Structures are given as structure tokens and as C-alpha cells.
Amino acid sequence: MTSTDAPDTSPSPLGLLAELTYACPLHCGYCSNPLNLSEYRDELCTEDWLRVVGEARELGALQLHLSGGEPLQRRDVVEIVRHGSELGMYTNLITSALGLSRRRAEALHAAGLDHVQISVQADEPVGSDRTAGTASFARKYEAARMVKEMGWPLTVNVVLHRQNIDRIREIVELAEQLGADRVELANTQYYGWAWLNRDALLPSRAQLERAERIVRERREQLRDTDIIHVLPDYYAQYPKACMGGWAQRQLTVAPNGDALPCPAAQSLPLPRASVRESSLPWIWRESALFNAFRGVEWMPEPCRSCDRRDVDFGGCRCQAFQMTGDAARTDPVCHLSPDHELVEEVVRRVGATEDAVVDELVPRPHPRDQR
């Protein structure tokens, strides 16, 4: 058997995260979109997106997640949903719900959209609108009700941080009022704009402990609702398993066509891979970017000899690079990392108490506002 005839042993992706645009009507200071938004104005056209979705399905992807920014800012979102649905993919709209009019919802329903996830910033209008940077709470509430009326499963996603985590009980109650089938209580991940605002967003240990107790109580009380609670890994003993392993289960395509093993990988000093220049199957299987940290051979110590190397895969490559300048380092979140002091210092400085809350966040701008 020649090398060209060798069987393909690379994993198949479970899902494609299609970041259709970074344009967004909200200005959340915890957004993980890249800081250089102005570099993503040259978006893929409809034909390109349809090709990318088809190639992802060829690779074995079963899920199509449409995100951004705000995917409803794209006029062709219905066409992209229809294409994914016709290919047999489970389609999920990840949205702020601004722009989800009844007419748009009916078109998406007819196109075969399977699921809607709506982001909620807080449980009441003042806090929600302040975080979002625009009046949006009432429209989100109405849109969530409409989603349930149309028969879609509804996920309510709430990014938790120092300034809203103390109202986690009320947030879950709001999700219950909206008829959410799934509630994602996800503590902020510190990439993009969230990295700039980390000191104002990182909760204290006491806040986290109270929140965990409340989540346990609500899970017992709401057994028919799936409540997912994602803890901030700065307080964890071990790092999160980044995307289920680098280029193992998920892939992302950014608005400009960059293909990425995870949504935050734009910052890494690795060779670029673009669907404008190469097919998605080639990028997934052959590109230097997708093979850079696949498997375990790249791992340094202590990861290489750790019995958790196939559990957390050395942690997050983007976080390792962000905090140490070296994407191949052990994620500093891990208590075994030689760089763990970097995380401990942040927790001591910011997360030790609930005092000194910083109200002002650096807001995420609209891409056109960047020069």
C-alpha cells in the first residue's frame, strides 16, 4: 500500500461552528470575539458558506451551529440553515434574539431549523441592558416566548461573572419562566474582550461557592430542565479539555474564512488555514494548524507522563499562549503546571474578595466602529 493509499485515521468532527459574521447589535464586555474585529469585514459569500457546510458534512459533521457576532445580521442565514438541514445536519441558531422577528422565525422554521439558543445577560432589564450596551431585555423575552410557541427546543445561555453571579437564582427562575429546555450557566472564559475585562469579571471564591449551592438546589427542583453549570477554570485543579481535544471533535470557520480548531485560536502564532484557499477536508486532515496539537506527541512535561493526558489534553492552547507566550506549555490553570503561579496571582489579586468591583467594562464595539 502506498502512502497515498493509506487509510485516513484522523478523527471526524462532530460539529461545525459557522461564525457567519462578527457584526452584532450588542456590546458585551465578556465577548470572546477577537479584538481586531475590523479585520473580519471581508466575509464569506453565501456560495462559500454553502460549500463549507457541504464539506463539513462530507467530513462527518452532524451538527451545524450558526453563530457570530449575531448570525441574524446575515440575510442568507435562512438559506444556510436550509442547506444544512437538507444535508441531514442538526441546525442550531445561537443568537442574541435581536432581529428574530416573527417573519424571520417562520422562514427559519420552514427551512428546517432544529434548535434556538438565546443569550441572556441578566434576569432584569437594567442589568441586562447595561451589560449588553443596548436596550434588549424586552425583545429577548418576547423572542424566547415566540421560540416556544413555534415548537423549537430553547436553550437559554447566560455568561456568568462577578457582576451578575449573585443573582443566579433569579436567572434560573427567568429561564424557567421562558420555558427553557436547557439552561447554560457558563462562567466567563477569558479570551477576546473578556481578557481585557478580566479584573472586572472574575468572581470571588465565595461568590462561586454560593452559586454552586444554588445550582444544586435548582437542579433538584427542576428535574425536567437540563441545567449546565460551567465553572471558571481559574479555580479548578485541572484545566478544561479544550474542545474535547485539539482538532478532535469540533471545528470553527470565522467570517473571513479562517478555519480554526477552536473559536479563540486566531491569536496563536500558527500557520493560517483558510477555506478560501483550501478545502475543509484538506484543512482538517493535512494542515499544519489542525495537526499542531493533535494527539499527545507534542506535549511537554508534566503533561506527557500524566495519566490525565487523554482526559484534558494538556488544557487550553489559547490560554497557555495568552498567559505564557508559548502555546505548547501546560495550561497554567493546572495545579501541576510550572506556570500555575500566574493563575494563583490573578485569583489572589482579583478573586480573593468581593470588594473593589469595577463597574465599567471595555465594551465590544461593532466592527465598523474600529479603524
- Annotated binding residues, written as ranges, equal 24, 28, 31
Contact indicator for 29, 197 with CB cutoff of 8 Å? yes
Contact between residue 268 and residue 247 where contact means Cβ atoms under 8 Å apart = no
Angstrom distance (rounded) from CA 13 to CA 2 = 26
Of 116, 184, 103, 113, the C-alpha closest to 147 is 116
Please state the φ and ψ torsions of residue 94, each to the nearest 5 degrees: -105, 110
Strands, DSSP E only, in the chain? 15-19, 63-67, 90-95, 115-119, 154-160, 182-187, 226-230, 250-253, 259-260
Closest CA to 165 of 131, 114, 116, 118: 131
Annotated binding site for [4Fe-4S] cluster: 24, 28, 31
Which of 196, 126, 189, 161 is closest to 357 using CA atoms?
Answer: 161
Q: Please answer whether residues 207 and 165 qualify as being in contact, where contact means their C-beta atoms are separated by less than 8 angstroms.
A: yes
Euclidean distance between CA atoms 81 and 95, whole angstroms: 14
Q: At what angle do helices 125-132 and 137-149 cross, to 10 degrees?
A: 100
Taking residue 167's Cβ as centre, other Cβ atoms within 10 Å add up to 19
Q: The C-alpha cell of 21 is what?
A: 459574521
The single-letter DSSP state of residue 191 is S
DSSP bridge pairs for 93: 66, 116
